[in-house]
Structure 1
Amino acid sequence: MKYDESNSPTMIVEGKATVTTAPNQAIVTIGVVSEAKNVTDAQKQNSSVSNQIIQALIRSGISSNDIKTKQYSVRPMYQYTEGKAILSGYEVRHLLEVQVNQLNEIGTLLTIATEKGANMVEDITFKTAAPHTAYRKALQLATLDAIGKAKELAKTLRVQFNDTPIKLVERSSHVQPRPMEKMVLAASTESVPIEPGELTFSAAVEAVFAYTNF
């Protein structure tokens, strides 16, 4: 049965889907926090340790392109005596963001960083090298979900519809990262459990279908 879609009533449905995939990369943010009585000493100490960490990571096989500064800050520290703030020194914080392309190398990275003076892990975020592949799969499934819902509506209403939507709009996209909690680096990091888990990719579409009575 043929009908003129331009003059046909329409139904609007939303399709949703979620796809999970195992991560194969990680962004490890390690930090060097240095304190000293004067700002120059704090900066020198921090710079020395940071450079040692960077060079050690490069020697271990990590590309210099995969290491970058995420944050660098200098702040005064105060002690409070009888309600008065007295300057006690300065804190310098340097956060390095390191991309790891082999997840089994995370423990080694943390060990190297610890041995060279890193004293905190800001976070470890897992990701995939091909996020678009997973998201597009979710988008395909969301479209099929919309078509399936439209079919059920058409069946319930006893109407005929064209399962090719006359309008299809991508409504949202969402990637659920896998961050680990902030931690202070201990002398040994080999016993720290690193659980990548899974990444979640969600997609939603709005589809408009034309229909007519039998």
Structure 2
Amino acid sequence: MRYDESSSPTMIVEGKATVTTAPDQAVITIGIVSEAKQVIDAQQQNSSVSNQIIQALNKSGIPSNDIKTKQYSIRPVYQYTEGKSILTGYEVRHLLEVQVNQLQQIGTILTITTENGANIIEDITFKTSTPHAAYRKALQLATLDAIGKAKELAKTLHVQLNQTPMKLVERSAHIQSRPTEKMVLSASTESVPIEPGELTFSAAVEAVFAYTNF
């Protein structure tokens, strides 16, 4: 049956879908925090540790282009005594982002960074090297969900549905990764359980369908 879409009644439905996939990459944010009475001393200490960590990561197989500075800051440190603030020194904080393409390396990387002077992990964020494929799958399933809902509505209303949408709009996209909580590195990180879990990709569409009475 041919539809005169200019005069046919329409229904609007929303389709949703979620796809999960296992991560195959991770980004570790490593912190090097140094304190000294003089700012130049704090900077030199931090620079020395940072360079040592980078060199150790390079030797372990992490290329330089997978290591980058996320944040670098210098702030004064005060001690408060009897209502007065006394400058006691300076803190230099350097955060490095390390891209890990083999998840089994995470424990080794944590151990290396600890042994070479890192004292904070800001977070570990897991991701996939094929995010677009996972999202496109969710989008496809969301579209099928919208068509399925339209069919059910047509069945309930006892009308004939044109299953090709007059209009289809991508409404939202959401990727949920699972970062770890901030933690202080201990002397031994091999015992720290790091579970990648799964990544969730969600999609939603709005579809407009024409229908007619039998």
Report the TM-score range of the alignment, normalised by the length of the smaller protein: over 0.9
Q: Distance in 2 between matches of 1:169 and 1:2?
A: 23
Q: How does 1:135-146 map to 2 (within 5 A)?
A: 135-146=135-146
Q: Distance in 2 between matches of 1:162 and 1:5?
A: 10
Q: How does 1:1-214 map to 2 (within 5 A)?
A: 1-214=1-214
Q: Distance in 1 between matches of 2:29 and 2:119?
A: 11
Q: What SS does structure 2 have at the residue aligned with 1:151?
A: helix
Q: Distance in 2 between matches of 1:36 and 1:8?
A: 76
Give structure 1 regions of 4+ aligned residues with deviation exceeding 4 angstroms. none
Q: How much does 1:204 deviate?
A: 0.1
Q: What SS does structure 2 have at the residue aligned with 1:179?
A: coil
Q: Distance in 2 between matches of 1:58 and 1:172?
A: 40
Q: Distance in 1 between matches of 2:44 and 2:128?
A: 37
TM-score by structure 1 length? Answer: 0.99
Q: Distance in 2 between matches of 1:29 and 1:104?
A: 17
1:155-205 alpha-carbon deviations (Å, 9 max, x no partner): 111111111101000000000011011110111110000100000000000
Q: How many residues align?
A: 214
TM-score by structure 2 length? Answer: 0.99
1:139-161 alpha-carbon deviations (Å, 9 max, x no partner): 00000000000000001111111
Q: Distance in 1 between matches of 2:50 and 2:2?
A: 71
Instruction: State the superposition RMSD in angstroms.
Output: 0.6
Amino acid aligned to 1:9 = P
**Structure 1 portions without partners, runs of 5+:** none
Q: Distance in 2 between matches of 1:199 and 1:209?
A: 32
1:35-71 alpha-carbon deviations (Å, 9 max, x no partner): 0001100000000000000011011111111000000
Give % identity: 84
